[in-house]
Structure 1
Amino acid sequence: MQKILDAVLAGETAALGSLPVPEFYRGVTVHADEVEMFAGESTQDKDPRRSLHVDEVPTPEPGPGEALVAVMASAINYNTVWTSIFEPLSTFEFLRRYGRTSELAARHDQPYHVVGSDLAGVVLRTGPGVHAWKPGDRVVAHCLDVGLEHPDGHGDTMLDPEQRIWGFETNFGGLAELALVKSNQLMPKPAHLSWEEAACPGLVNSTAYRQLVSRNGAAMKQGDTVLIWGASGGLGSYATQFALGGGAIPVCVVSSEQKAEICRRMGAELIIDRSAEGYRFWKDEQTQDPKEWRRFGARIRELTGGDDPDIVFEHPGRETFGASVFVARRGGTIVTCASTSGFLHQYDNRYLWMHLKRIIGSHFANYREAWEANRLITRGRIHPTLSSVYPLEQTGQAAFDVHRNAHQGKVGVLCLAPEEGLGVTDPELRERHLPEINRFRGV
């Protein structure tokens, strides 16, 4: 592994194809024999630092249409938190189900799960049938794993019944020294970004692009008022950038003045600090409070000059969904991609059907959407939202921070990269955008 790292650091990536691939590599794992370790504990008390391990695991051989990547850096997503606390179910159920589909997929059904759905690194090997990528290519990976053998996926790959999220529903993910991906997950690494900066946008940037910009999502247009929950977080920080860059008017909902200041740094002007303003959308565990919905809607109209949101960018789920349906304008759209506060949503359907609103489900992105989102990063139009970086050995702490919402933007992890700041090959473009690249750092 050291020879591989030395070649990457020396810029001699063309030589990687001739270097031997290690038989084992270090990866962050959960263990199948520990899935009951948090039994009886509340979700918030479950601690990823107890369940995430750094293990030596066997290196998989790339099959047809696959690539083995030397991972320089990765990042934490909420799916890694879910994996680490075994909610809403153990990901070993995904691996077992996948393993039954083919002899090639059976490799994923292991008593360990190497996690992680982001990476920036260098291609080491490609399997049969891979022509677009070669050893030495600097790449990032999006997290859609799909073979496209089913007709339903050929209009939109996210509709393929065999699509999976790599590193969550498959093994050999990106929080590791090596990772196994489909070749159609690979995209060019943005040359002006370091490895850890390039690794952090993949999942969230692509998800936000489909959810907000794509015709498969809300199809945002110029002038739309967009309510963005968690606007300084992993998903929301990219949604805020897309809204501002696309001529929309973001209304950013955050939970502290510190997070409000981050939104101002991005250029947002309309901000609601829901902690400071004391919004409580639930009276108790069973009962929502429509008076709080109305107070929240009035606050939005106060900021916008009387406009209700054309689009509500939803991902908290249970805690906020009733309010989201209520505040969207007549004919407006609530687009949801996650449920970090709970999967069972409740809302008053009168405000949906009688006001002709729409709820759209949005899950990650297809290759084209991910490519377009990455191209905006590559051109310096959208910027990474990296706030802090951990070494691979401290991935459990990084996931703990995200689980407790004690972070801003994205949390990165160094895998093979020995330190931050490496991997930049376009310093001129970087210099032009350095304030934007760093605006989440140290917050």
Structure 2
Amino acid sequence: MQEILDAILAEQYDAVGALPVPEHYQGVTVHADEVTMFEGLASRDKDPRKSLHLDEVATPEVGPGEALVAVMASAINYNTVWTSIFEPLSTFGFLKRYGRTSPLASRHDLPYHIVGSDLAGVVVRTGPGVNAWKPGDRVVAHCLSVELESPDGHSDTMMDPEQRIWGFETNFGGLAELALVKSNQLMPKPEHLTWEEAASPGLVNSTAYRQLVSRNGAGMKQGDTVLIWGASGGLGSYATQFALNGGATPVCIVSSPEKADICRKMGAELVIDRSAEGYRFWKDEHNQDPKEWKRFGAKIRELTGGDDPDIVFEHPGRETFGASVYVTRKGGTIVTCASTSGYEHQYDNRYLWMNLKRIVGSHFANYREAWEANRLIAKGLIHPTLSRVYPLAETGQAALDVHQNTHQGKVGVLCLAPQEGLGVVDTEKRERHLDAINRFRGV
């Protein structure tokens, strides 16, 4: 592994393919024999530092249509948090089901799960049938793993019945020194970014693009008013940028003055600090408070000059969904991709059906959408929202930050990269965008 790293650091990328691949490498794992370790604890009390391990693991065989990548940096997503606390269920069920689909897929059914759904790095090996990529290519990866043997996936790969999220529903993820991906997960690394910056947008940037911009999501257009929950977070920070970049008006919902300040630094003018306003959408565990929905809607109209949101960018779920349905304009769209506060949503259906609103489910992105989202990063039109970076050995702490919502934007992890700041090729472009690239750093 050291020889591979030395070649990358020396920018001798063409030499990487001739170097031997180690039989083992370090990866962050959860263990199948520990899935009950948090039983009886509330979700908030489950500690990823106890369940995420840095292990020496066997290097998988590279199969047809696959690539092995030396991972310079990765990042934390909520799916890694869910994996680490074994909620809403253990990911080992995903691995067993995938393992039954083919002899090649059986490699993924192991008593340990190497996690992580982001990476930036260098291709080390490619399998039979891979022609678009070669060893030495600098890449990032999106997290859609798809088989494409069914006709259902050929108009939109997210519809494939064997669609999975790499590093969550498959093994050999990106929080490791090496990662195994399908070659159609690979995209060019934005060359004005460091390894850790380039690794951080992948999952959330693509998810926000499909959810908000794509015709498969809300299909945002110029002039739309877009309500964005968690507008300074991993997903919301990209949704805010897409709204501003696409001629829409974001209404950013945050939970502190510091987060409000970040949104304003991105260029948003309409910001609601929900903590300062004291919104309580639930009277108790079972009953919501429509008066609070109305108060929230009135605040939005006050900021927008009387406009209700054309689009609500939803991902908190249970806590906010009733309010989201209520405040959306007649004929508007609530588009949801997650449920970080709870999966069982409750809303008053009168406000949906009588006002011709739509609820659209959105999940990650297809290759085209991920490619377009990455292209915007490479052009310097959308920027990373990396706030903090940990070494691989401290991935548990990085996941805890996200679990406890003490982070802003994205939390990165150095894998093979020995320090931050490496991997930049286009220094001229970087200088032009340096303030925007560093907007979230240290917050």
Amino acid aligned to 1:213: V
Counterpart in 1 of 2:419? 419
Counterpart in 1 of 2:312? 312
Counterpart in 2 of 1:407? 407
**Match status 1:396 vs 2:396:** yes
Counterpart in 2 of 1:330? 330
Counterpart in 1 of 2:437? 437
Counterpart in 1 of 2:89? 89
Counterpart in 1 of 2:46? 46
Paired residues for 1:175-214 under 5 Å: 175-214=175-214
Counterpart in 1 of 2:356? 356
For 1:124, what is the secondary structure of its paired residue?
strand
Amino acid aligned to 1:224: D
Q: 1:54: Cα distance to partner?
A: 0.2
Partners of 1:163 and 1:339 lie apart in 2 by 20
Partners of 1:53 and 1:281 lie apart in 2 by 38
Paired residues for 1:138-287 under 5 Å: 138-287=138-287
Amino acid aligned to 2:123: V
Amino acid aligned to 2:186: L
For 1:302, what is the secondary structure of its paired residue?
helix
Q: 1:413: Cα distance to partner?
A: 0.1
Counterpart in 1 of 2:78? 78
Counterpart in 1 of 2:301? 301
Q: 1:61: Cα distance to partner?
A: 1.2
Partners of 2:65 and 2:298 lie apart in 1 by 53
For 1:431, what is the secondary structure of its paired residue?
helix
For 1:275, what is the secondary structure of its paired residue?
helix
Partners of 1:5 and 1:261 lie apart in 2 by 39
Per-residue CA deviations over 1:223-247 (Å, capped at 9, x if unaligned) read 0000000000000000000000000
Amino acid aligned to 2:9: L
Partners of 2:122 and 2:11 lie apart in 1 by 11
Paired residues for 1:366-377 under 5 Å: 366-377=366-377
Counterpart in 2 of 1:3? 3
Partners of 1:167 and 1:302 lie apart in 2 by 43
For 2:276, what is the secondary structure of its paired residue?
coil
Q: CA RMSD in A?
A: 0.3
Counterpart in 2 of 1:378? 378
Per-residue CA deviations over 1:59-118 (Å, capped at 9, x if unaligned) read 001100000000000000000000000000000000000000000000000000000000
Paired residues for 1:18-167 under 5 Å: 18-167=18-167
Work out the percentage of aligned pairs sharing the same amino acid: 84
Partners of 1:35 and 1:25 lie apart in 2 by 23
Q: 1:147: Cα distance to partner?
A: 1.6
Partners of 2:126 and 2:157 lie apart in 1 by 22
Q: 1:186: Cα distance to partner?
A: 0.1
Amino acid aligned to 1:14: D
Q: 1:38: Cα distance to partner?
A: 0.3
Per-residue CA deviations over 1:158-190 (Å, capped at 9, x if unaligned) read 000000000000000000000000000000000
Divergent runs of 4+, >3 A: none
Q: Which TM-score applies when normalising by structure 2?
A: 1.00
Q: 1:204: Cα distance to partner?
A: 0.2
Partners of 1:386 and 1:333 lie apart in 2 by 29
Amino acid aligned to 1:60: P
Partners of 2:65 and 2:220 lie apart in 1 by 34
For 1:346, what is the secondary structure of its paired residue?
coil
Q: 1:319: Cα distance to partner?
A: 0.4
For 2:341, what is the secondary structure of its paired residue?
coil
Amino acid aligned to 1:189: K
Amino acid aligned to 1:344: E
Q: 1:442: Cα distance to partner?
A: 1.0
Partners of 2:61 and 2:197 lie apart in 1 by 28
For 1:180, what is the secondary structure of its paired residue?
strand
Q: How many residues align?
A: 443
**Match status 1:321 vs 2:321:** yes
Partners of 1:428 and 1:150 lie apart in 2 by 45
For 1:103, what is the secondary structure of its paired residue?
coil
Partners of 1:249 and 1:333 lie apart in 2 by 15
Unaligned runs of 5+ in 1: none
For 1:276, what is the secondary structure of its paired residue?
helix
Per-residue CA deviations over 1:288-315 (Å, capped at 9, x if unaligned) read 1101000000000000000000000000
Partners of 1:143 and 1:344 lie apart in 2 by 26
Partners of 1:196 and 1:285 lie apart in 2 by 40
Partners of 1:150 and 1:132 lie apart in 2 by 23
